[in-house]
Chain A
Amino acid sequence: MTFSPGSIAFNLNGAPVTADASPTQRLSSLLREELMVRGTKVGCDAGDCGACTVLLDGEPVCACLVPAIRVAGRDVQTVEGLANGALSALQAAFLDHGAAQCGICTPGFLVAATALLERNPKPSRAQVRDGLGGVLCRCTGYRKIEDAVMSVAHGLPASPTNIAPASGKAIGARVPRLDGMPKVDGRESFGADGFPADALAVAVIRSPYHHATFELGDVDGFRSANPGIVAIFTASDIPGRNLFGTIPQFVDQPALAQSETRFRGEAVAIIAGERAAIIDLDLSAFPVTWHEKPSALDPVQAEASGAPLVHADRKNNLLIAGFVEHGDADAAIAGSAHVATATIETSYVEHAYIEPEAGWAAMDGDTLVIHACTQAPFMDRDDLAPVLGLAPEKVRIVPTATGGGFGSKLDLSVQPLIGLVALKTGRAASLAYTRSESMMSTTKRHPAKMRASIGCDADGRVTGMVFDGAFNTGAYSSFGPTVANRVPVHASGPYLVPHYRATARAVHTNGPNSGAFRGFGVPQCTIIQEALYDDLADRIGIDRLDFRIRNALRDGDRTVTGQKLESGVGITACLEALTPHWVRANSDAIAFNATDGHLRRGVGIASCWYGCGNTSVANPSTIKIGISPDGRVMLHQGAVDIGQGSNTVIAQIAADSLGLPLDTIELVSADTSITPDAGKTSASRQTYITGKAAEKSARSLREQILRVANVSGDAILDIQGSQLVLREGSASRMLELSSLPADADGYVFGAQESYDPPTEPLDAKGQGKPYAVYGYGAQIAELEVDMKLGTIRLVKITAAHDVGRAINPLLVEGQIEGGIAQGIGLALMEEYIPGRTENLHDYLIPTIGDVPPIESILVEVADPEGPAGAKGLGEHVLIPTAPAILNAIRHATGIDIRKVPATPSRVLTAIKEART
């Protein structure tokens, strides 16, 4: 027998199928590429993520580890086989509980859970976790997944969701996500799920060194020696300006490197060919000669005098420094009764969404159409078009479903590569990154080396703070400037700090690009600020929560940028909401620690604040709504829903502002040709900014209707077929929509409105109004430290978040739980090391067994600016988790963690050092 494809017959979801496959082709590939059954997802091709879980004769296996020939004559069940006419109980429960966010891991979870309940219909929670421990999720924090399975197993009543809230009642309703159905039935189409069968496959040649120069060899010879290769492209083939980057002033990254690579994984060439040929291509034979050059991976090394420059025009390897100064911090600290000082270092953190970057490109006449996962379609278009020498309107971005983003899918990844192939060859071109390609070549959270001092008076009032941080921004700019600017604005925490000076330097190294990652540097700087608050409270001898309440910002206070917060400051409300939990948790810890043993219980608390939207720059959103002659209400909702819920939340805001029931609204999803620009899914801006645009647009539409119908603002609207019904008291009017003239979009009523937050620039000292709206929160972590092994067991996290107005409490909880899970990873296990942890078994993210019970407390201190009072929360929720955990470790053990993650090895070392 050889590797030539043979016919493999088996039962797929109860029906016999036959596929041509090589005997060792992965079952996942057989299903997806030969049979085009793509509900089974590929996240790692190594058994590390479980996204490809299918049932083989009823037992869950990773389809990526099963040779095709093994299924011959056997039964394979995939997510597509779970529903039998109607959703299975598990699928329905996942939808109702909000257990699916982006949805990329959902098929794997559903299949694994189906097998679990088949074998053990009444599992305990621990057994559910054991059964699902092999599937990773990066969005949900797992709690709602566990709840959904438990509810099915034990016949618990569904959570009190509201599928179809009445007119005017959408805001505040626990509406299951409106785009959830395809996420649980396997039909959702992510970046790699829509590849046309005849698309060219694209492979990428990448640098194996942190820093190198290179020469290409006989590329034409390589091409002719490998039949099936259609074209090979290098930097010289780029038709436009061979540079991209998310911030126009700092654009510096070549789509394909010219002669020098500045980080491991940087692309130098792409090979396009027929799929079978590319799969069979040995990329190590590609003719390129590398010359490894000295590299710096640490900002201290890169900032040292005489260090080689990563970019010749950036002195001292400094990309940019952010600076905020208010009052005289040095004098204030010098005059303080107590001063605490610390140095803390954080690590590279990988986004580790379960969907590696993927997409396909094709020409539509003279327009290049890119279908890819993304967080920012218009930014993609405007960043990509100049690289390919196209006018922006000749590039159309159609986002696919996006299997998690968390900041990294703001940057271009596959787009320039597939775009170049489609443009040059005229054929569709497809590319899905491997897991290691994704980890090597895309952005990370900035590693930070931070030093800070905070002073307070004898009464525990903070007098001043200085902060200095070197943020390793890697080889290219990405969102380094944003981090450098955000950190000094936020490093004070949500506290009144009268004298303040903070500097954050984004320093180039030959590490992977650091970019946007949920919180833009604020999770890092909050770690040191909150550690110092604990230190100060302990020095004075007052309760750590009281110390925070004493210093919390209040309405009318000025922030460190001199911005006066007139109203809506919710941090005190969050801290007060946590007070009974704090008292209970501390008393539990005292009782627990009264007995001897190797476990010590600790309790920690930390706060967050976070400005919603971009820092002192315009970032408008535009929303269009139209009513068609046949009575359909179309919401052009361009805020990409990467799992966080904008498709649902924006629709809820639009429904109530328009005065129609939520279930009358149809979504027109993001597409640069049909939805106006709603900006980036980033900076916790969509609920607030796009929500506000939706509110304005819907109100404008309502005004038009009221005017045409000549009724008052009190009128109640309804749509019945093509008739718009307007009731005022006992009177009612009908408008026959089909009799009205339609506009260019085909709508008889249409409105399009924009909203841009009213911010003001920051001056040379960082003084000004960087954001119009802030959100606030605080979390308590309870944990046990194993004093002899340095391991941590989380007991509970209690989270109070001021969201202004919870437009959808179910989705708010999902954001909180998911953010906490990422905060747990940051605190305890996540450390990306280029060249060493480029997979999901050496790079660890939390599993279902690592996230403890989470109690969410939704605080609603209305913001006068946000829609219905709402504030953003997507990033806020991650910020307090790591500092609360680290403070709890300190509380339990007395040790200060100076480098995160606090791995067992580091914790035990610190415990031993503290003893000597």
Chain B
Amino acid sequence: MVRYAKPQSLDEALALLSAGTWTILAGGTDFYPAQGNRPIRENILDINDLAQLRGIAITDTHFVIGAGTSWTEVARAELPPAFTALKQASAEVGSVQIQNTATLAGNLCNASPAADGVPALLILDAEVELRSIGQTRVVPLQDFVLGNRKTAREPNELVTAIRIPKASASGSSSFYKLGARRYLVISIAMTAVRIELDQGGSIADVAIAVGACSATAQRLRGLESTLRGLPAQDNFDDHVQPEHFDTLTPIDDVRGSADYRREAAREIVLRALKEAVALQLDPLSRLANGVAA
């Protein structure tokens, strides 16, 4: 007999997870398309009644995005400019209908190489909070998403929150999604960039992530260290070199060739960098330009 459970408390949910094999149902925007018209033959754990998973909290050290928080809730939340990339990503996830339903945590757990949320969270050094009975562990996002449709979540664990260290929530950020049409599109490539300038107008710190160009989105650490210390007014063209993208392993598919992805990744990183700098120098410029993608 397949089971459906809608626990009313986190403890109840974790108890169920420890005692059986469950498919977790959150927003449902990946669950139903994957299901198609096949009958459901697995146990479903519906976490939508877990009120404590909803909303964004600010602790002494972290911004904590509950696992049940929707993209729309993120977009409407008051958050510092470092979150601009995440907000821009939220506006590019599917459509308004999807953003109202889908959760950020679900986007991570679905672990698509083209997950819109991953690059913007990687540049915030996001961590994933996982709970099982009697245990909580926190895993850096890059260690949580292991591959195409593969995560570090154990079957008895529930993702309960996405945590962003306050130390990483500084500076300004920008997101660029490259697709073959305007809305409802899966990325050919995407990037998120966060930048902090020092008093002298040089790059004090920078974080860059690229999605849809590898099995999982990647931080470009080599490029980040190349850019640190450069004046913000640089056009970066000479510094952002193709070899900085060698860690990416793009594939050829219907959306674009591997070569195209590699080349486009460099270009959109450059654009997002310049946009992030512009935002830092003049936060209002953003309003005139609209969303990057």
Question: Shortest CB–CB separation between residue A325 and chain B, in angstroms?
Answer: 39
Instruction: With CB as the reference atom, state the residue of chain B lying closest to A793.
Output: B182
- Give the complex CA separation of A836 and B27 in angstroms: 26
Which residues A871-916 have CB closer than 8 A to chain B?
Answer: 903-905, 908-909
Q: A47-B94, A60-B96 are in contact. Are A848 and B32 (CB under 8 A)?
A: no
State the Cβ distance, B97 to closest chain A Cβ, in Å.
5
B183 touches A849 (CB 8 A): yes
Set of chain A residues within 8 Å of B46, measured between Cβ atoms:
23-24, 67, 69
Are A848 and B183 within 8 A (Cβ)?
yes
Q: Which chain B residue lies CB-closest to A115?
A: B96
Chain A interface category by residue count: 35 or more
Does B48 lie within 8 Å of A70, measured CB to CB? yes
How long is the Cα–Cα vector from A403 to B95 in the complex, in angstroms? 22
In angstroms, Cα B98 to Cα A47, docked, is 7
Given contacts A281-B39, A903-B256, A904-B264, contact A59 B72 (CB under 8 A): yes
Q: Is there a chain A Cβ closer than 8 Å to B158's Cβ?
A: no
Asked if A126 and B264 sit within 8 Å, CB to CB, the answer is no
Q: Are A837 and B183 in contact (CB under 8 A)?
A: no
Instruction: Tell me if A48 and B28 are in contact (CB < 8 A).
Output: no
Point out the residues of chain A lying under 8 angstroms from B28, CB to CB. 65-67
Contact between chains at A24 and B44 (CB < 8 Å): yes
Instruction: Give the segment of B3-11, B207-215, B225-233 that binds chain A.
Output: B3-11
**Which of B5, B32, B259 has the most chain A CB atoms closer than 10 A to its own CB?**
B32
Q: How far in angstroms is the closest Cβ of chain B from A145?
A: 13
With contacts A905-B260, A908-B260 taken as known, whether A844 is within 8 angstroms of B180 at the C-beta atoms is: yes
Contacting pair A61 B101 (CB below 8 A): yes
The smallest C-beta distance from A664 to any residue of chain B, in angstroms, reads 43
Q: Which of B144-152, B164-172, B184-192, B280-288 lies at the binding interface?
A: B184-192
Question: Does A24 lie within 8 Å of B4, measured CB to CB?
Answer: yes
Closest to A1 in B: B4
**Chain A interface SS verdict (over half):** loop
B97 is contacted by which of A60, A283, A904 (Cβ under 8 Å)? Answer: A60
The residues of A that contact B199 with a CB separation of less than 8 Å are: none
Instruction: Indicate whether A46 sits within 8 Å of B97 (C-beta atoms), given known contacts A3-B40, A282-B39.
Output: no
A32-40, A87-95, A827-835 - interface stretch: A827-835
B250 to chain A, nearest CB (A): 11
Contacts of A791 in B (CB 8 A): 178
The answer to whether B181 and A50 touch across the interface, beta carbons within 8 angstroms, is: no
Give 1 or 0 for each of A1-37: 1 = CB within 8 Å of chain B CB.
1110000000000000000001110100000000000
Q: Which residues of B contact A69 (CB under 8 A)?
A: 6, 46
Q: Are B29 and A904 in contact (CB under 8 A)?
A: no
Q: Mark B67-103, 1 if CB is under 8 A from A, else 0.
A: 0000010000000000000000001001111101100
Q: Is B134 among interface residues, defined by CB-CB distance under 8 A?
A: no
Does A133 interact with chain B (Cβ within 8 Å)? yes
Q: A60-B97, A133-B96, A134-B98 are in contact. Are A279 and B184 (CB under 8 A)?
A: no
CB B143 to nearest CB in A, in angstroms, measures: 29
Q: Cβ of A789 < 8 Å from any Cβ of B?
A: yes
A53 touches B97 (CB 8 A): yes
Smallest Cβ-Cβ distance to A26: which chain B residue:
B32
A1 contacts B98, CB within 8 Å? no
Q: Does A543 contact B (CB under 8 A)?
A: no
Measured CB to CB, the closest approach of chain A to B182, in angstroms, equals: 3
Nearest opposing residue in chain B for A829, CB measure:
B180
Q: Is the CB of B97 within 8 A of A61?
A: yes
A218 at the interface (CB under 8 A from B): no
The answer to whether the Cβ of B200 comes within 8 Å of any Cβ in the partner chain is: no
Task: Assess whether A639 is interfacial by the CB under 8 Å rule.
Answer: no
The residue that B32 contacts in the complex, of A45, A789, A841, A844, with Cβ under 8 A, is: A45
| Contacts A2-B4, A67-B46, A69-B46 given; does A134 touch B181 at CB 8 Å | no
Known: A24-B4, A847-B183, A849-B183. 14 other contacts (CB 8 A): A1-B5, A26-B32, A47-B33, A48-B33, A60-B97, A62-B101, A66-B28, A126-B290, A129-B183, A133-B95, A829-B180, A829-B181, A847-B184, A904-B178
**A residues neighboring B (CB under 8 Å):** 1-3, 22-24, 26, 45-48, 50, 53, 56, 59-62, 64-67, 69-70, 112, 115, 126, 129-131, 133-136, 279-284, 434, 436, 788-791, 828-829, 831, 833, 836-837, 839, 841-842, 844, 846-850, 903-905, 908-909
Q: Offer 22 A-B interface pairs, CB within 8 angstroms, sorted by A.
A: A24-B4, A50-B95, A56-B100, A62-B98, A65-B33, A66-B101, A67-B28, A70-B48, A112-B96, A112-B97, A133-B182, A134-B94, A136-B184, A279-B39, A280-B39, A789-B267, A829-B181, A833-B254, A841-B184, A844-B185, A850-B182, A903-B180
